[in-house]
């Protein structure tokens, strides 16, 4: 049976303007980083993507190296788009990125014009689309002039392969320089995608100010700290968890007694608000309006449903905010 989107898909989702652009993004977006490639079935991926759309998620975030294996997430999304979402293409924001390793030799990663344009063409083929809505430089390249990287992104937009430009993992200083270059080229920077969570607040040391001052949007990845800000690790490390594997992003070394003390205290606060820990963490990231969208990952539909429910309570009292700051700063929270 073919897919037909829910007629109520726009009734509950919150949409935020992305910087000073004309584009709005859902407050919760779906990232296809880990669980939409060869590690899951096409049917599970389809269920997660279509359910997300039914709940108002219009933004689906990819990159050329997402999988695993690299490229497989774009291929999976391309199949689902062709089979189920083709009629809704103009309702979707599809983003992709380039900059991390994809193929052998000197042109298979980083930020050269050669890499970015070649990667863009490869992504379009895997996704089976004529254009993406947002195309990102996935990381700053210290060996390529930033002018070259930004001119390549400008060319990609002017050639009709992307509608908007984004950058990811750039510092505040690098972002300021990128904004200035793109402004001169006439293709403004739409959005920055940094890591940001209660446990990872580096963006507050200048980057958020740069984005706000220049009218650039922000979409936070890993707002749940790779699962640490969920109920998954409250009682230790499950054998089937990412931390129990060889993940370079979250492993046993990250889940210290101090981190667990903080997480358990935050979980108590979440319960008092009538939220899960994940819902609290997402609401906190979105709390000041400086983050346009929080980017979630998922391995099953129920996680998406739980995360979207965070939007039912985005308000914090000053007492709650103060309590969170105390928890996050205390070295020995009991």
Chunked mean pLDDT (size 10), the chain, 334 residues: 94 98 98 92 97 98 97 97 98 98 98 98 98 98 98 98 98 98 98 98 98 98 96 73 52 76 96 98 97 97 98 98 94 44
Does 29 reside within a domain? yes
Query: What CATH number did the domain enclosing 56 receive?
Result: 3.20.20.100
Predicted confidence at residue 57, as pLDDT, reads 98
Does 216 reside within a domain? no
Cβ distance 287 to 324 under 8 Å?
no
Where do the DSSP E strands lie in 196-264? 217-221
Does 264 reside within a domain? no
Beta-bridge mates of residue 96: 135
pTM: 0.93
Does 261 reside within a domain? no
Q: How far apart are CA 287 and CA 283, in angstroms?
A: 6
Cβ distance 113 to 184 under 8 Å?
no
Predicted confidence at residue 332, as pLDDT, reads 45
Domain total for the chain?
1
Predicted confidence at residue 240, as pLDDT, reads 55
Q: Which domain holds residue 90?
A: 24-193
Does 280 reside within a domain? no
Does 112 reside within a domain? yes
Q: Give me the helices (H) in the chain, please.
A: 42-54, 72-80, 113-127, 146-158, 172-185, 207-213, 257-272, 277-285, 301-308, 318-329
């Amino acid at each position: 049976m073919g897919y037909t989107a829910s007629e109520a898909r726009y009734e509950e989702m919150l949409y935020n303007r992305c910087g000073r652009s004309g584009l709005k993004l859902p407050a919760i977006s779906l990232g296809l980083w880990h669980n939409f490639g060869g590690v899951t079935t096409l049917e599970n991926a389809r269920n997660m993507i279509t359910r997300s759309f039914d709940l108002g998620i219009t933004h689906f975030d990819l990159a050329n190296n997402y999988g695993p294996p690299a490229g497989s997430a774009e291929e999976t999304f391309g199949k689902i788009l062709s089979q189920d979402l083709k009629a809704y293409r103009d309702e979707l924001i599809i983003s992709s990125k380039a900059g991390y390793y994809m193929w052998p030799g000197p042109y298979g990663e980083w930020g050269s014009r050669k890499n970015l344009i070649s990667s863009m063409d490869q992504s379009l083929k895997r996704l089976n689309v004529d254009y993406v809505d947002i195309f990102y430089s996935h990381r700053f390249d210290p060996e390529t002039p930033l002018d070259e990287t930004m001119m390549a992104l400008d060319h990609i937009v002017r050639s009709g392969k992307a509608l908007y430009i984004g950058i990811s993992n750039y510092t505040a200083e690098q972002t300021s320089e990128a904004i200035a270059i793109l402004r001169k080229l006439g293709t403004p920077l739409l959005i920055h995608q940094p890591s940001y969570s209660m446990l990872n607040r580096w963006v507050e040391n200048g980057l958020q100010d740069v984005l706000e001052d220049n009218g650039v949007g922000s979409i936070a990845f890993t707002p749940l700290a790779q699962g640490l800000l969920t109920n998954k690790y409250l009682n230790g490390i499950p054998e089937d968890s990412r931390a129990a594997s060889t993940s370079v992003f979250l492993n046993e070394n990250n889940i210290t007694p101090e981190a667990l003390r903080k997480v358990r205290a935050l979980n108590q606060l979440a319960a008092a608000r009538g939220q899960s820990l994940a819902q609290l963490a997402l609401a906190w990231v979105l709390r000041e309006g400086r983050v346009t969208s929080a980017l979630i990952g998922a391995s099953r539909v129920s996680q998406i449903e739980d995360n979207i429910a965070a939007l039912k309570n985005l308000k914090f009292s000053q007492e709650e905010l103060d309590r969170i700051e105390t928890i996050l700063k205390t070295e020995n929270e009991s």
